[in-house]
Amino acid sequence: MKTPFWKYLALLFAAAAGAAPRVEYRSLTLEQAVDLALRQNPDYLLARLDEQKARQAVNEARSPYVPRVAVGSGLAFSNGFPLSIEGSAPSIFQAYGTQYIYNRPQSFRVKEASEMAKAAAHSTDAKAEEIAYRVAAAYLDFERATRALDALTRQLESLTRVEHLVEDLVQAGREIPLEASKARVQTAKARSRLQDLQAHVDLLEESLRGDLGLGEGLRVIPVESELPSKTKLPDDEDAAVAAALANSKEIKRLQTILQSKRYQVQAEKATHYPRIDLVAQFALFGRFNNYEDFFKTFQRQNGQLGMSFQLPLFARAQISARVGQAETEIAQTNLRIAATRAGISLETRRLFREVRQTETSREVGRLELDLARETLTVMLAQYDEGRIALRKVEEARIAESQSWEAFYDAQTAADKARLNLLRETGGLLAALR
């Protein structure tokens, strides 16, 4: 008996449904998104690894003060006088150990490496604030676009109803055909805007998932948050500038680099001092190397323990050149610090004024929205009384939807401006946690 064709189709659709990737939806607040980014964002994780690398450089600089022991063998058969192998007598087994006891240049290099590790930590903190603001701004853009998509969907529904009403009026001879064409054009424009906005929403979601380190199988649902509007900002421009200069991670990073360069100068100047190392050596000789034929006494096990003294001479020109290079880098870093302070001061004042401007625009948008909602309420009441046509009500709905969209834009701009000012003044992470 042959299987009916519809069963083949059912099996085919079932297989296609089983092969389709599973999509999971997850609601995220702004705080959760920032916290997730600081745990999974690739850029922040790379900054953490750079910080760990700088800390290991400190351990490497300190390592010469810890005893280092190497073992090996200079095993060889001698024909005649036993010659040296890499500066040591032929031996079956040998061990060599060293340790710094007094080394002024190396002590300053340890301090230099410690300062560079602090600079790396400041860079990590700066990267954390950068990632937090980037994710917060992307989240707000995504949230705004999602709400605008809903508003535009309602607007398209109203335009479609208006188009049908106008067509009915044209058929009844109460409107000219040109009005129907205008209504169709408005509907087509709204439909095109809706498609463009949907593509923009998908792009924003993909970008946000990348910042959060999420896979493609997870869809993000934004949760409306009033946190940016409730964050506390400095009272005036001068207070904002003072906070920005005091909390700037970039200035702190440059200051630690400046201190590391000073230690570098001290390390170069300290090369005039003597160097004292602890040395220890052990060797087990073999009789087949003819030691007994050329030396008065022979002992198989040999060792020595002592100190090595070194005093550099005639190195003033080389040391002066290295000191000059380090002092030049100090001057360059000082100039960078001054330029950074001036740039931060100017940017903070600009951001502070931008916050005030965007908050004013948001308040204007709120008033326009209230007016549009009140107008719609009046129109609905008049329609219930039979005083106006349904077309007027739908036009009022469209105006209200457009006011909502404009208010969303103004609110997002104000929230992003506040977060940007918080990032500049160093209070962003505390506000978002």
Q: What is the three-state SS of the chain?
A: CCCCHHHHHHHHHHHHHHHCCCCEEEEECHHHHHHHHHHHCHHHHHHHHHHHHHHHHHHHHHHHHCCEEEEECCCCCCCCCCCCECCECCCCEEEEEEEEEECHHHHHHHHHHHHHHHHHHHHHHHHHHHHHHHHHHHHHHHHHHHHHHHHHHHHHHHHHHHHHHHHHHHHCCCCCHHHHHHHHHHHHHHHHHHHHHHHHHHHHHHHHHHHHCCCCCEEEEECCCCHHHHCCCCCCHHHHHHHHHHHCHHHHHHHHHHHHHHHHHHHHHHHHCCEEEEEEEEEECCHHHCHHHHCCCCCCEEEEEEEEEECCCCCHHHHHHHHHHHHHHHHHHHHHHHHHHHHHHHHHHHHHHHHHHHHHHHHHHHHHHHHHHHHHHHHHHHHHCCCCCHHHHHHHHHHHHHHHHHHHHHHHHHHHHHHHHHHHHCCHHHHCC
CA 351/CA 259 separation, integer angstroms: 31
pLDDT in tens, the chain (433 residues): 444 433 433 444 444 444 445 667 778 888 888 888 888 888 899 999 999 999 999 999 999 888 898 888 777 777 676 767 666 778 888 888 889 999 999 999 999 999 999 999 999 999 999 999 999 999 988 988 888 888 888 888 878 887 888 788 788 887 788 877 887 888 898 889 889 989 988 898 888 888 888 877 778 888 877 776 677 888 899 999 999 999 999 999 999 999 999 999 999 998 888 999 999 998 888 777 767 777 777 788 888 888 888 888 877 888 889 889 999 999 999 999 999 999 999 999 999 999 999 999 999 999 999 999 899 888 888 877 778 877 787 788 888 888 888 898 899 899 999 999 999 998 888 888 7
Locate the domains of the chain by residue range. Answer: 23-66+103-274+311-431, 71-102+276-310
pLDDT score, position 414: 92
pLDDT of residue 312: 82
* pTM for this prediction: 0.77
- pLDDT reported for residue 260: 94
Burial zone of 283 (CB within 10 Å; 0-12 exposed, 13-18 middle, 19+ buried): buried
Q: Are strands 24-28 and 218-222 parallel, antiparallel or unpaired?
A: parallel
CATH architecture group of domain 23-66+103-274+311-431: Up-down Bundle (1.20)
* Per-residue model confidence (pLDDT) at position 86: 67
